[in-house]
Structure 1
Amino acid sequence: MNDIAFDIDHHIATLTLTRPHKLNAVTPDMTTRIREAAHEINTNRDIRVVVLTGSGKAFCAGSDIAELDSYPTAWEFRDRPDYCDAIRGIRKPVIAAVNGYAFGGGLEMAMSCDIRLAAGTASFAAPEIKLGWIGGGGMAAFLTHSIGPSNAALMLYTGDPITAQQALAWGLVSATHPSEDLLPAARELAGRMAERAPVAAQTGKLNLRAAYAMPLENCIQYERDLQTVSFATQDAAEGREAFKQKRPAKFTGR
């Protein structure tokens, strides 16, 4: 059974988890497919933006717990291929359309995306503590950066879910939509982003990542270097020419 759907339309790749009877909990086979899709996204020049979502009432409930005892040792569990690493390794902008439960690794997967939109009925949790362990896909780092250390501690130490409205108030998501409007809203946003210069979008993503990790002066210098790279592209020349001619720019990713 194929538990991942992947399609490309008008420069937008949509990656959908399609295991609704298990709340889209991720198996090792699904991880392989997600990693393959991430590679396709990075190497296919036609793809400019990605939308990641789930089917049914869940975005993703994390790893399939029934599969975790298949690892002979904790060390082999630690070294397993990771689906959050695959999403985080996508070089192009990624929008998470969180349609339902985003729990555990599913929350980490959503936070591995650049922008998060949520259905009003979605909920978010870091429930690993209820099972005796903690997240391992960036849970603490992402939550601390997204919602602050106190709110992150509240989620990590209780494992209890928060609503989409609370997630919006805390800054975990950028917007909420009625369930039926979520995917159209994500695709409309992706369409606007796909019209922008692809090299500028990818260098902008590198710049945002640097802002997490670098001291301020280093980050500004890195930004200036990235600006120089993007300024030298054909798309930048097209953007300047379009501005002078008062017409929309036509970017090609070169």
Structure 2
Amino acid sequence: MSDNIRVERDGLIGIITINRPEKLNSMTPEMASSLVEAVTAFNTDDTIRCVILTGAGQKSFSAGSDIGVLDEYDTPWNFRNRPDYCDAIRGLLKPSIAAVNGYAFGGGLETAMACDIRIAADTASFAAPEIKLGWIGGGGMAVNLAHAVGPSNAALMIMTGDPIDAQQAERWGLISRIVPQASLLAEAKKIANSIAARAPIAAETAKLNLRAAWDKSIADAITYERDLQTICFATEDANEGRAAFKQKRPPVFKRR
């Protein structure tokens, strides 16, 4: 595990911190491999019910790939098949929250969009600046940004490369809320604890359902949702939820 990826546990919450503030939390292949390790560990840990992703320091969430490392790829094909940190975050089975503490540029924006929920400090900013360097994003930039802010706003960001501030990001729907920098992690933990209190299988299934809704027709999406609902309904946690409702007590979910 790279020292530049810090992994912590806080009760039912897992926290992954991109820990390279001196380089604006830019990512290297080694860090991407460490993210895969962290995701694998959290995915197989039944005591973790929600994961927060954030950056170290107050200046940057992540500035994306370390451009100084990109010339180390000897062929475009090897560049194409490099370890991808956005894929690592998309591999999380547990619900995820991006706590964006500063710049979310390039791959950093893609990383934030790979999370299910995004909140940001009032000093955060967001950009797809790759076009200024002669290329475009490759970690899901276009599809995720178009879904998040709409095709025209996505085109504006991708084709100019210019940043937007947190207030604009909230207006466009890229983030759910803005909080003061000092309160960011506490607010992320508050949301995570709320999710962690819900039935874990249902929360993980809801994540699958939301992502599948992007790819399917309306009719197929409804059928898929109904199938997932049936699976959840058959769990012990669903039985517990109904029993707790009848007995007027808080449910005790066990991820079974």
2:233 is equivalent to residue 235 of structure 1:
no
Q: How do residues 8-87 of structure 1 correspond to structure 2 at under 5 angstroms?
A: 8-56=9-57, 57-87=59-89
Alpha-carbon deviation of 1:113? 0.2
Q: Which amino acid aligns with 1:26?
A: M
Show the counterpart of 2:130: 128
Aligned mates of 1:81, 1:230 — CA distance in 2: 34
Q: Secondary structure at the match of 2:93?
A: coil
Show the counterpart of 1:148: 150
Alpha-carbon deviation of 1:99? 0.3
The answer for unaligned runs of 5 or more in structure 1 is none
Alpha-carbon deviation of 1:10? 1.1
Q: Which amino acid aligns with 1:28?
A: P
Q: Which amino acid aligns with 2:247?
A: Q
Alpha-carbon deviation of 1:128? 0.1
Alignment size in residue pairs: 254
Show the counterpart of 2:111: 109
Aligned mates of 2:79, 2:45 — CA distance in 1: 31
Residues 168-219 of structure 1: CA distance to partner in whole angstroms, max 9, x if unpaired? 0000000000000111000011011100000001111110011100000000
Aligned mates of 1:123, 1:20 — CA distance in 2: 16
Q: Secondary structure at the match of 2:9?
A: strand
Percent of pairs identical after alignment? 62
Residues 65-111 of structure 1: CA distance to partner in whole angstroms, max 9, x if unpaired? 00001111011100111000010010110000000000000000000
Q: Secondary structure at the match of 1:51?
A: strand
Aligned mates of 1:2, 1:9 — CA distance in 2: 19
The answer for unaligned runs of 5 or more in structure 2 is none
Q: Which amino acid aligns with 1:147?
A: V
Match of 1:246 among 243, 248, 253: 248
Show the counterpart of 2:92: 90
Show the counterpart of 2:3: 2
TM, length-normalised to structure 2: 0.98
Alpha-carbon deviation of 1:41? 1.1
Aligned mates of 2:6, 2:83 — CA distance in 1: 20
Aligned mates of 2:155, 2:108 — CA distance in 1: 18
Alpha-carbon deviation of 1:4? 1.0
Residues 12-55 of structure 1: CA distance to partner in whole angstroms, max 9, x if unpaired? 00000110000000011111110100101111111110000001
Aligned mates of 2:88, 2:3 — CA distance in 1: 18
2:214 is equivalent to residue 197 of structure 1:
no
Aligned mates of 1:9, 1:172 — CA distance in 2: 27
Q: Which amino acid aligns with 1:141?
A: V
Aligned residues: CA RMSD: 0.6
Q: Runs ≥4 in structure 1, deviation > 6 angstroms?
A: none
